[in-house]
Each structure stands twice: as structure tokens, then as C-alpha cells.
């Protein structure tokens, strides 16, 4: 999938979101008694996390909840702009993944609290971390303009699919609880308790994922995109896919013929133990790789960027994917 990295726009957005004129704006004021806190999340993955923490005290608009949608190239609607204009809290992935949300915040004329998961994760580069520091943002943007530099990150500096980093998801839940508690002080204790319960569930997922690697140490796998990269790392698996292949698929381009051949060779002679595909991206190249895996009898595990229909929440969704990965590798993943 192509990634649109409008870094300067994102910096400007978060400067608007993070700064205040000193007067209390509607977004700064405590929530009215009995009212739910309006929240916008870029995808239903983050929307689900907010719902788990906020419970009945929040109303969440997930801008992307269609499993067939491409967050990288999503085109916003007037309804999206209206939702952001009402929001007291906005949760976005950051890292160039969903810049459209930042642009909506910048044009909203409001001052919601913004949670940039790229910054919260601690996994992004130093330059990306500037995006959540209002004062550094302005200096950084001014410098970029003066130098004529483009400050988007290059693919490979970090993996922007942070929701597959289970420790990051725990950090996000804790941050959501804190920020919701500021907007709705009466619900602060409930938010904290909900985040604690949610994080305990995610801790179980981490244990189960690590158990995969313990059962199959250094097992080799292939992926069509880097989407599940953090989960693969937590499982202690070795991704042997040529970087040029996954980069090409993510950038919506055809990999060089030599790279495709190298990737297809992973399913012959000494084949990998499993192929993990992004079910939301299908190209002639990924179809060839899937076919090669199936011909070789290599299990194919489908993972997605957004939660599919019928899934009740983040933990259940991720639990199912962990089970699928464990099953493909012949490992045990109990507790689902």
C-alpha cells in the first residue's frame, strides 16, 4: 500500500492540537455531567481500545471501520470533519500512516486532545517524536522550510503498524485513561480500572505470543508486508522475506523480478514455516507468493490492518490472529 507521509502537515496539525491560547476552549472544559465524551479514532482498532477504556462514558467515531478500506489513501468526508469538530479526544496512529486525521484537526478550529500513537510507542525515530511536542514542532517545521527538506521518514526506519506492538497498545490504553480522566474527572477512576483490566488481557496476549517462539525457536516465516512485524518479533520468529519485496508491496509497486524470484524461493528446498499475508492487500505478486506457499504446503496466515466485521474488540481480534499463527507453526496458544 502506498504511504502518504505529509510530515510537515502532521507537525502543524499537532501544534494546533497541542497549543492553547490560555483561554479555556470547549475542548478544555470538563465534560457536562451525564454527557458522554466524544472521541474520534482514525481506525476501528484504536476506536476499540478507547471503547474498552471509556466504556459507556464515551461515544467513539472510528473514521475507518471498513475492512476493505486503505488507511494510507483514505479520502475524508464532511461527516469525518464534523466528527473531529465535536471531538474532545482524537487518537491517531501517526508515523505517516493516517495524516488525514491530523489535517482534519488542523482545519477544525477546535482544540481536542490528540494522542499520537507513534510518539506514545517510543518506537518512532527522534524526528517523528517531534510531532507531539508543540514547541519543538514549530522550530522543526521552520527549520524544514528554511532548509527545503522533506521530513517524512523513509520506509525501514521503523514499522508504523504500532497496533501489532502489544506493549504499545498497553501504553495507548493507559494514555487514553489519563486523557479521558482530564476531560471527564468523574469517570477518572473508572477509566483507570478499565485500562488496567484491558492491559491485563493484553499481557496475556504477550505471554501467549512469546510462547509461540518458545515452542518453535527461530522459526523462519515470510510476510507480504511489514504489517505484523512487531507481533512476529514478540513471537521470536525470524522474518526472512527480502526487504525489497515487502517495501514494494507496501508502496503499491511491483518488486523487481529478481526479488520476486528470491521471495518465491522461500517456499522450495528448505521452506519457511508459515506465510503471513495482509488480507487487505492483494497484487499479482502477493498472489504468486500465496500460490507458491500453498503448493509447497506452507500454512498461510491472514492478518489485517483494521478489525473485520463481527469482531467484538481489539483483544478478541488479536487473540484470534495469535491463535492462527500458533496453529500454523504447530505451537500452542491457549487462553483464547
pLDDT in tens, 37-82: 999 999 999 999 999 999 999 999 999 988 777 776 788 999 999 9
Over 90: is that where the pLDDT of 147 sits? no
105 plus 238 within the same structural domain: no
Contacts for 190-199 with beta carbons within 8 Å, 24 or more apart? 190/55, 190/57, 191/53, 191/54, 191/57, 194/52, 194/53, 194/54, 194/55, 195/53, 198/49, 198/52, 198/53, 198/173, 198/315, 199/170, 199/173, 199/174
> In the structure, what pLDDT confidence band is assigned to residue 149 with cuts at 50, 70 and 90?
very low
Mean pLDDT confidence for 300-310: 93
Residues 222, 103 share a domain: no
Residue 153 and residue 64 share a domain: yes
CB-based burial, 146-168: b 16+ in 10 Å, e otherwise? eeeeebbbebeebbbbbbbbbbb
Same domain, 223 and 187: no
* Total number of domains constituting the chain: 2
Q: What is the mean pLDDT of the segment spanning 195-216? A: 97
Domain presence at residue 190:
yes
Highest mean pLDDT among 28-42, 145-159, 303-317: 303-317
Are residues 183 and 56 part of one domain? yes
Size (the chain), residues:
336
- Domain coverage including residue 132: 7-201
Tens of pLDDT, residues 10-42: 433 443 344 333 333 445 556 555 579 999 999
Q: 265 and 117 in one domain? A: no
Q: Both 189 and 301 in a single domain?
A: no
Q: Pick from 148, 175, 201: which residue ends a domain? A: 201
**Residue 187's CATH number:** 3.40.50.1980
Q: Do residues 130 and 102 share a domain?
A: yes
How do residues 171-185 score in pLDDT, each as one tens digit? 999 999 999 999 999
**Residues 20 and 165 occupy one common structural domain:** yes
Q: What is the pLDDT of residue 206?
A: 98
* pLDDT in the model for residue 218: 82
* Chain mean pLDDT for the chain: 83
Amino acid at each position: 500500500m502506498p504511504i502518504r507521509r505529509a510530515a510537515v502537515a502532521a507537525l502543524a496539525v499537532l501544534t494546533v492540537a497541542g497549543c492553547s491560547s490560555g483561554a479555556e476552549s470547549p475542548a478544555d472544559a470538563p465534560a457536562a455531567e451525564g454527557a458522554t465524551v466524544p472521541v474520534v479514532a482514525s481506525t476501528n482498532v484504536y476506536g476499540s481500545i478507547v471503547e474498552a477504556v471509556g466504556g459507556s462514558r464515551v461515544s467513539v467515531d472510528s473514521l475507518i471501520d471498513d475492512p476493505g478500506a486503505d488507511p494510507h489513501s483514505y479520502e475524508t468526508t464532511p461527516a469525518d470533519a464534523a466528527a473531529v469538530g465535536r471531538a474532545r479526544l482524537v487518537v491517531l496512529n501517526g508515523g505517516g500512516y493516517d495524516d488525514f486525521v491530523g489535517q482534519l484537526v488542523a482545519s477544525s478550529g477546535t482544540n481536542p486532545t490528540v494522542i499520537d500513537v507513534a510518539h506514545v510507542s517510543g518506537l518512532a525515530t527522534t524526528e517523528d517524536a517531534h510531532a507531539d511536542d508543540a514547541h519543538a514542532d514549530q522550530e522543526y517545521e521552520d527549520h524544514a522550510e528554511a532548509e527545503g527538506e522533506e521530513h517524512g521518514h523513509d520506509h525501514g526506519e521503523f514499522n508504523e503498524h504500532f497496533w501489532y506492538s502489544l506493549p504499545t497498545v498497553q501504553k495507548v490504553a493507559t494514555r487514553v485513561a489519563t486523557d479521558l480522566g482530564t476531560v471527564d474527572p468523574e469517570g477518572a477512576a473508572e477509566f483507570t480500572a478499565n485500562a488496567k483490566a484491558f492491559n491485563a488481557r493484553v499481557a496475556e496476549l504477550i505471554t501467549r505470543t512469546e510462547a509461540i517462539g518458545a515452542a518453535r525457536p527461530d522459526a523462519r516465516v515470510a510476510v507480504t508486508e511489514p504489517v505484523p512485524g512487531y507481533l512476529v518479533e514478540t513471537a521470536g520468529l525470524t522474518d526472512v522475506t527480502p526487504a525489497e519485496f515487502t517495501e514494494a508491496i507496501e508502496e503499491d509497486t511491483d518488486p523487481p523480478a529478481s526479488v520476486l524470484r528470491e521471495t518465491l524461493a522461500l517456499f522450495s528446498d528448505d521452506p519457511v514455516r508459515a506465510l503471513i499475508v495482509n488480507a487487505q492487500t492483494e497484487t499479482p505478486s502477493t498472489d504468486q507468493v500465496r500460490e507458491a506457499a500453498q503448493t509447497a504446503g506452507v500454512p498461510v496466515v491472514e492478518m489485517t490492518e483494521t478489525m473485520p466485521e463481527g469482531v467484538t474488540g481489539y483483544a478478541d481480534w488479536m487473540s484470534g490472529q495469535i491463535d492462527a499463527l500458533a496453529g500454523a507453526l504447530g505451537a500452542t496458544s491457549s487462553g483464547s
